[in-house]
């Protein structure tokens, strides 16, 4: 595996304080190990934590009585299992976030529920007090479950107050030229299930007027192998390590065709900054139909696409005091500028963002009621799917 230059041993002596160099190398190596299980003599997570505490103690001088708004101890609830994808992403982004909080802040983390984040989000909605001491970190799939009407989702995405988010590219790829994507054309597409991120791709193709025959039960490498063997024509590439997934597709002549795009901070659609060379679905729709998409189903697609693109969202409960919201958002702004965040982009294609982009992305998850209803009716009519 190719390692970033900062992780490889230097060929010549480096300048700068030795402890700073060690901290930087350790941080990036630790992120790589946490995300991908890289072998080698990397420093264990507990050792990293102890080292960080020692360095902080040296910088702060003699111990003082804890003070500040988070001195009682804040808890970040990770809506997913220990050592799951979200948990590994949390191990990369939470250290710079907690370092940016006021001196004396205490922050713990706890895991809850399965990989779709629904159980953890339910727990947060039911138990989290709006005191600035409770923060949710959930995958976009939890919001998607709420959007499509899963009965397990006993929370309201509209109640979440955004702090930070982490986006990944969402790309449709295939072995045909993009010019062949025209209204009335029919293609086979791989999908894991309709009740997941794939719904954003399926609904997007429907809005373009492209007929699809869906081969369900295929995800990740299975979908890419089906494309290689000619079992499907299109695949939806999303989630962590999209660059590696796309590189895998090029081995047999497949290529990215278009992206689902990304909202600008003002909410207007734009090309995905992680794939600026690709037209987004909105551009393609205008090219094919001479107009931008509109209506409740389009609004539902915007929310589904936002959910599919989120590796994580971080939020506070509704009614959290404004001063505490500002405190967490300022820490998030510092965290996304950190080397840890840069390594997360480089190693996992997860792009952390703070306000205002994170606010736009998370707020966009909450589709109006008529749009959510239109989506559920479309799922029932197109796939005979009903919430479980």
Interval 259-289: pLDDT, tens: 999 988 777 789 999 899 999 999 999 999 9
User: In this structure, are residues 297 and 371 in contact, taking their beta carbons and an 8 Å threshold?
Assistant: yes
Q: pTM of the predicted model, to two decimals?
A: 0.82
Q: Rounded mean pLDDT of the chain?
A: 85
d(CA 137, CA 118): 11
Start-end of H helices in the chain: 18-36, 45-60, 85-100, 118-127, 140-147, 198-208, 221-228, 242-249, 281-289, 296-308, 322-335, 339-348, 357-363, 369-383
Give 224-267 pLDDT, tens digit per residue. 999 999 999 999 999 999 999 999 998 888 999 999 999 887 77
Written out in words, the top-level CATH class of the domain with range 171-306 is alpha beta
Which residue would you say has higher pLDDT here, 80 or 24? 80
The CATH homologous superfamily of the domain defined by 18-50+70-167+309-363 = Bordetella uptake gene, domain 1 (3.40.190.150)
Give the number of other CB atoms < 10 A from CB of residue 111: 17
Q: Taking 80 as the threshold, does the pLDDT of residue 44 lie above it? A: no
d(CA 170, CA 200): 9
What is the domain partition of the chain in residue ranges?
Answer: 18-50+70-167+309-363, 171-306
Q: How confident is the model at residue 384 (pLDDT cuts 50, 70, 90)?
A: very high
CA angle 346, 364, 326 (to 5 degrees): 75
User: In this structure, are residues 167 and 310 in contact, taking their beta carbons and an 8 Å threshold?
Assistant: yes
Which residue would you say has higher pLDDT here, 55 or 288? 288
DSSP three-state, residue 237: strand
Backbone angles phi, psi at 321, to 5 degrees: -55, 145
Percent of the chain with pLDDT over 70: 83
User: In this structure, are residues 101 and 331 in contact, taking their beta carbons and an 8 Å threshold?
Assistant: yes
pLDDT at 12: 34
pLDDT at 66: 55
318-346 as b/e, with b when 16 or more CB fall inside 10 Å? eebeeebbebbbebbebbbebebbbbbeb
Backbone dihedral region for residue 10 (phi beyond 0: left; psi -120 to 50: alpha; all else: beta): beta
Q: Do domains 18-50+70-167+309-363 and 171-306 have the same CATH topology?
A: yes
pLDDT at 251: 87
Average pLDDT on 356-377 reads: 94
**Integer CA distances (angstroms), 97 to 32, 103, 327, 356, in order:** 18, 12, 11, 17
User: In this structure, are residues 142 and 154 in contact, taking their beta carbons and an 8 Å threshold?
Assistant: no
Q: How confident is the model at residue 10 (pLDDT cuts 50, 70, 90)?
A: very low
Q: Taking 60 as the threshold, does the pLDDT of residue 40 lie above it? A: no
Average pLDDT on 79-96 reads: 96
User: In this structure, are residues 115 and 80 in contact, taking their beta carbons and an 8 Å threshold?
Assistant: yes
């Amino acid at each position: 595996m190719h390692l970033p230059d900062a992780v490889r041993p230097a060929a010549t002596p480096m300048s700068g304080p030795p402890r700073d160099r060690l901290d930087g190398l350790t941080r990036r190596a630790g992120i790589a190990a946490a995300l991908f299980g890289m072998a080698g003599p990397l420093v264990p997570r507990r050792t990293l934590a102890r080292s960080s505490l020692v360095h902080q103690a040296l910088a702060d001088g003699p111990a003082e009585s804890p003070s500040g708004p988070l001195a009682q101890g804040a808890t970040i609830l990770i809506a997913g299992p220990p050592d799951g994808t979200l948990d590994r992403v949390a191990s990369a982004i939470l250290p710079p976030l907690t370092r940016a909080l006021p001196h004396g802040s205490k922050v713990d983390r706890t895991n809850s529920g399965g990989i779709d984040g629904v159980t953890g989000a339910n727990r947060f909605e039911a138990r989290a007090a709006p005191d600035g001491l409770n923060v949710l970190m959930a995958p976009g799939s939890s919001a998607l479950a709420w959007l499509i009407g899963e009965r397990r989702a006993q929370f309201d995405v509209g109640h979440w107050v955004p702090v930070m988010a982490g986006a990944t590219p969402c790309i449709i790829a295939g072995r045909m030229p993009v010019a062949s994507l025209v209204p009335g054309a029919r293609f086979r597409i791989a999908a894991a299930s309709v009740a997941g991120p794939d719904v954003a791709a399926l609904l997007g193709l429907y809005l373009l007027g492209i007929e699809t025959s869906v081969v369900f039960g295929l995800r990740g490498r299975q979908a890419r192998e089906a494309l290689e063997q000619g079992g499907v024509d299109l695949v939806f590439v999303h989630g962590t390590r999209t660059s590696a997934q796309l590189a895998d597709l090029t081995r047999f002549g497949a290529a990215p065709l278009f992206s689902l795009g990304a909202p600008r901070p003002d909410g207007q659609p734009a090309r995905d900054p992680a794939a600026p060379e690709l037209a987004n679905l909105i551009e393609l729709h205008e090219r094919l139909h001479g107009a931008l998409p509109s209506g409740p189903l389009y609004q539902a697609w915007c929310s589904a696409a936002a959910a599919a693109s989120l590796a994580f969202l971080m939020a506070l409960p509704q009614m959290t005091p404004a001063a505490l919201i500002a405190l967490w958002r300022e820490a998030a702004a510092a965290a996304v500028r950190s080397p840890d965040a840069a390594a997360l982009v480089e190693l996992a294609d997860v792009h952390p963002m703070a306000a205002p982009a994170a606010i736009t992305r998370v707020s966009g998850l909450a589709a109006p009621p008529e749009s959510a209803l239109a989506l559920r009716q479309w799922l029932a009519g197109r796939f005979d799917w009903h919430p479980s």
